[in-house]
Structure 1
């Protein structure tokens, strides 16, 4: 080997080691060694905590102050070590995601084992380090819920009250208000009690708003309330997330007091596949706009007091060839009253209150119907109620094989003949339904409606016109 080659063989590994040493991943180095070379032990504080999504996925949240760089995640060799001995911590390279528009960030940790961890970053040439975090993804998984009481001091001053749900070691509560549409951060506060009002700082012990007063909320805008209940060892025992929209239904009606108020058709049923999913159907007349869905917190309130209804931004879709539309409501344990509204020119259409009973009286979905085809192209349908005997009227809907709407009628009797209007009490047809076409396939649906507009029974069956 020549002397030149010898120098290359010696110095290249040395240079590679020098360049990669500060990475702490390619060339392992414990946290204590990193601290000794980077800090004078006068650390800035990093706000951080951790929560589990499942036993194998945890999020380590942290608040990076503006200008933070070289953000690192360190984890101990074992849970059974001195958590304050930083020689026990090694750097791990985890994925980072923005939270609340980047006001917070989080590491994603895929591991079933529990451990100690912490977060560091550099800011203005100074090392900032979080307190140690005790991961409890297996022994005390984080609870996630949307249960929070939202009241209003005024239209734009919501206050939030929540429960510990039996958890006894919550040390502090972190509340974030953000915009649902784009995750824009508005406010981040800490309280020692289970209450926060936007924006009242009388019980706030710490915030991450950086001396900026949060913006005033905007009516009819959807926001997200997030609360993390944090233990002394920085583990998140509980996360509550719930959307809210300032301005109740009565305030909306008052705002539109110059418009004529008319009643509209709407009703609700639980899904055939899951009691936690309910469908809220409504019939929008031609030209309908600004469709809205309002809901109460529970069924114990006065359903005719419209100030009890808060707007919710639910997804809706066209059904039955677009003759009806329906909102999809996912809530596995809360029953409520709801109302649907829309506007056509100077008329505001408002449905009667609908009592959602997905838990106590889940909708029965059946296919048992007798079809009498003795009269050419005028089939007669006869059915019976299911186990719930509370139906006051029945809505029959016919669609063709392409799901185009054909006919919609109401009867109080459990029978209907196409097209015999002798027992029809109301229709949703804008014109006389067409004759059925011989040998074509059609779909028949009947909804059994109670007086509170809940659907106890749905029968669906296809048939061939004879």
Structure 2
């Protein structure tokens, strides 16, 4: 009889443990449950999204991973007609993140026919960092692509980049990356203005450059990329231009 009782107790414990683990795994697929009881910070992940240049159904959700971060996750709503600030509306997407600008940034890439909201999270020092909601507009306002960047090289080794936006009403901020032609990031900056000079940070409002960037080299080819980002973190337009430093 004692042996039978032990077997029954052991079975119940295993069953409860299995059920608890299953519930935990299920709850973790909802953003509100994932952060429940955890230390978290909202608006703490720099992230935005835009169309792929070739396939309008393919979206790229970009984010800056900072240092010592891990467990990158992407959550989505089932439509755009929900409260984007209600974390119970977001469920986990099973997508692997991939390097962007050779790993300085990262991105999730997936096919999404309908519009929705996204949130990116990662963990650092036992704390969950959460991005602001990202509104996908892949149907109503597809990302535009252009190479129309004016590059003024009158000042040696400090090219001045300027560009025109398609619509000022949709713009909140500009993200600029100066890189090698092989996509090694040299500098990453944000401005409210439609210009940036390397390496003059007088109009830079956010800088993700690691340390002081190197001097540019005469005769070397470089690439300049700009993202025109809306208030709800959709990339309205991407500008990309390659140039030789003169």
Fold match by TM threshold 0.5: yes
Q: Could you say if the C-alpha distance between residues 21 and 106 of structure 1 is closer, same or farther in structure 2, counting changes exceeding 3 Å?
A: farther
Tell me how far 1:220 sits from its aligned partner.
Answer: 2.4
> What are the equivalent positions in structure 2 for 1:274-289 lying under 5 Å apart?
none
Cross-structure match for 1:219: 218
- Pick the structure with more helix per residue: 2
Partners in 1 of 2:135 and 2:166 — Cα distance? 21
Partners in 1 of 2:83 and 2:131 — Cα distance? 16
Instruction: Report if aligned partners of 1:71, 1:119 keep a CA contact under 8 Å in 2.
Output: yes
Q: Could you say if the C-alpha distance between residues 214 and 13 of structure 1 is closer, same or farther in structure 2, counting changes exceeding 3 Å?
A: farther
Tell me how far 1:92 sits from its aligned partner.
Answer: 0.9
Instruction: Report if aligned partners of 1:159, 1:197 keep a CA contact under 8 Å in 2.
Output: yes
Tell me how far 1:180 sits from its aligned partner.
Answer: 1.2
Q: Could you say if the C-alpha distance between residues 217 and 230 of structure 1 is closer, same or farther in structure 2, counting changes exceeding 3 Å?
A: same
Computing the radius of gyration from Cα coordinates, the structure with the larger value is 1
Cross-structure match for 1:240: 239
The root-mean-square deviation of aligned C-alpha atoms, in Å, is 2.2
Cross-structure match for 2:165: 164
Tell me how far 1:165 sits from its aligned partner.
Answer: 2.6
Cross-structure match for 2:184: 184
Unmatched tracts of structure 1, length 5 or more: 248-466
Indicate the SS of the match to 1:32. Answer: helix
TM-score calculated relative to the size of structure 1:
0.49
Residues 84-121 of structure 1 deviation map (CA, whole Å, 9 limit, x = unaligned): 11111111111311111211100012111100111111
Partners in 2 of 1:188 and 1:167 — Cα distance? 22
Q: Could you say if the C-alpha distance between residues 144 and 7 of structure 1 is closer, same or farther in structure 2, counting changes exceeding 3 Å?
A: farther
Indicate the SS of the match to 1:154. Answer: coil
Partners in 2 of 1:17 and 1:135 — Cα distance? 36
Instruction: Report if aligned partners of 1:167, 1:237 keep a CA contact under 8 Å in 2.
Output: no
Which structure is richer in relative contact order (CA contacts within 8 A, separation 6 or more)? 2
Tell me how far 1:134 sits from its aligned partner.
Answer: 0.5
TM-score calculated relative to the size of structure 2:
0.89
Instruction: Report if aligned partners of 1:44, 1:127 keep a CA contact under 8 Å in 2.
Output: no
Instruction: Report if aligned partners of 2:73, 2:121 keep a CA contact under 8 Å in 1.
Output: yes
Q: Could you say if the C-alpha distance between residues 133 and 43 of structure 1 is closer, same or farther in structure 2, counting changes exceeding 3 Å?
A: closer
Instruction: Report if aligned partners of 1:151, 1:160 keep a CA contact under 8 Å in 2.
Output: yes
Residues 420-458 of structure 1 deviation map (CA, whole Å, 9 limit, x = unaligned): xxxxxxxxxxxxxxxxxxxxxxxxxxxxxxxxxxxxxxx
